[in-house]
Amino acid sequence: MKKNEIVEVEITDLSYEAMGVGHVNGETVFVNNALPGEVVKAQILKDKKSYAFARISEIVKESPDRVKVPLRQYVQTGLAGLASLAHLKYDKQLEFKQKQVKELLSKAHLDQIKVAETLPSPLETGYRNKAQVPVRMVKGQLEIGFFRRHSHDLVPLEDFFTNDPEIDRVLLAVRDILREKRIPAYDEEKHQGQVRYLEVRRGTATGDMMVVLVCLDRDFPGLHAVVDEIKEIAGVKSIFLNHNPKRTNVILGEHDYHLWGKRYIDDKIGDLTFEISPQSFFQINSLQTPHLYKLAIDQAGLTKDDLIVDAYSGIGTIGLSAAKYVKEVCGVEVIKAAVKDAKNNARLNQIHNAKYYVGKAEELMPKWAAEGLKTDVIFVDPPRKGLTKEFIDAAVKTGPKKVVYISCNPATLVRDMQLLMEAGYTTDLVSPVDMFPQTPHVESVTVLERTQID
C-alpha cells in the first residue's frame, strides 16, 4: 500500500487505542474512527510494511453502534486523542473495556477469572474536574484548543466535551481576558511569548474553581491586570501562576506562585473533604471516584484490628476513605507535596490513625518488610507501568490477607496478578470501572486473597 492510496477495508476489531482494525492483502490496517462491522474506504497515511495507519474517506457500511458525534470537529480534525471513543455508543464503550480485560486475561491463560460488566460513569460527558489546555497564537489570535495528534499544531476549540462545562466557561473567559489585554501566547519555536497552558480545576462538590496560568516568566507586563479580571469570573476562588521557563514538552514547571484568593480548592469524596493544590493528583472523575473506592473498600473485608497500606497514595484519598474501618493506615507516595496534602487532609477530616511517608513504594516496602512490619490489607494504585517485582516480593513478606489492586492499565495489572498468584494469592474477579468515558482508558479493581500460608 502506498501513502494516500484509498483502500476498501472491512473493520473486524477495535484496537486498545480505539482504532478500527482491518486487513488488506494480509496486512493489518488501523483506521482512525472506524468501528467493527463497518466497511470503509480508507486513505493510507503511513505504511510500515506489516501494518498501516489510515483514515476514513468514506463509510460504505455504517455500524449501528456509531454515534453521530455532535462535535464534528473531533472527527474532522483527527483530534482523536481527546475523546477517541466518542463515536461509539456508550454501552458499547463499556463492553469494549470489559472485553479488553477479558482478552488480556485470556492471553495469560487466566480465563477462569471473571470480568464484571464495566461500571458506567454517572456522567458520560462533561465529567472532568480538571483541564490543562495549550495556548498558542493561531492566525494572529490567541487561541486555546488541543494539539493535533502527534504534533504541536493547535486546533482551536471552545467545547472540550469531556470537561465539566463550568470549566469550559472559565477557560473561554480567561482566553478572552488574555486576548483583550493583548498577552502574547507562548511560541515554542522562538521560545518567547508568555502563556503556555491554562489549567482550570473545579471542586465538583463545592463548585470552587482554581485557575493556573502556566507562563514562561514569573511576572510580565499586564499580569496584574489579567488577574484583576480573572478574579471577577463567577466561581473562581483561587489563581496561581506556574512558572515553566524551560524548553520542554512537560506542561507544568516546578514552582507555583499564588496570585490571588485561596491556596486550595476543596472537593469531596463520600463524606471526606480534600484540599487540592495546583499540582496535586486528584481523580479527575469526581462523581465516579466514590464508586471506585467503595468497590475496593467493600471487597477488602476490613476490620478494626487491621493495619492497611495505601501505596501510591497521591493525596491520601483511598487510605483516608478506609481509615474509619481499620486500626492504622500507612501510606507511601513519591511526590513530597502530595504527602504534605495527605497529612493535611487527614487533619482536616480529624483522622488520627493515618501516617503518610514520602518515598518510592518499591523502596519503602522492602524497608518496612525488613523491619518486620505485618500488614493485613495492602491497597495499590500505581501509575500505568504498574508494580515492580521488588514491591510485590516485599508486600507479600508483610503477610497481607488481601491485596486490593486499583489499576489504570489492564496489561500491567495482568502481569502483576501473575506474580501475586505465584506468591500464593488468588482472585476470581476483575471489576472494570469507567473513570474516563469517551476514551479507551480502562480502570479496574481486583482483590487478590492469600491462599497459602508459609
- Residues making up the annotated binding site are 283, 312, 333, 381
SS (H, E, C) 407-440: ECCHHHHHHHHHHHHHCCEECCEEEEECCCCCCC
Q: Which of 6, 205, 334, 408 is catalytic?
A: 408
Bridge partners, 403 (sequence order): 378, 448
Compute the chain's Rg from CA coordinates.
Answer: 24
Burial category of 300 from C-beta neighbours within 10 Å (exposed 0-12, middle 13-18, buried 19 and up)? buried
Burial category of 189 from C-beta neighbours within 10 Å (exposed 0-12, middle 13-18, buried 19 and up)? exposed
CB nearer ligand SAH, residue 69 or residue 334: 334
Contact 446, 22 (CB under 8 A): no
Interhelix angle for 90-107 vs 410-422, to 10°? 40
Cell of 131: 483541564
CB nearer ligand SAH, residue 70 or residue 383: 383
CB nearer ligand SAH, residue 22 or residue 331: 331
CB nearer ligand SAH, residue 90 or residue 281: 281
The minimum distance between CB 388 and ligand SAH, in angstroms, equals 8
The minimum distance between CB 315 and ligand SAH, in angstroms, equals 6
The minimum distance between CB 314 and ligand SAH, in angstroms, equals 3
Chain residue at closest Cβ approach to ligand SAH: 314
Q: What is the DSSP letter of 163?
A: B
Does the CA dihedral 187-191-194-199 come out positive or negative?
Answer: positive
The minimum distance between CB 436 and ligand SAH, in angstroms, equals 14
SS3 category, 337: helix
Bridge partners, 204 (sequence order): none
CB nearer ligand SAH, residue 171 or residue 378: 378
- Told to judge if 215 belongs to the known catalytic residues of this protein, a careful annotator would answer no
Residues engaged in binding ligand SAH (CB under 6 A): 281, 283, 312-314, 317-318, 332-335, 338, 360-362, 381, 383
Q: Which of 330, 385, 381, 393 minimizes the C-alpha distance to 357? A: 330
Cell match 479580571: residue?
229
CB nearer ligand SAH, residue 338 or residue 433: 338
Cell match 454515534: residue?
67
Name the amino acid, one letter, at 132: Q
Residues with a catalytic annotation lie at 408
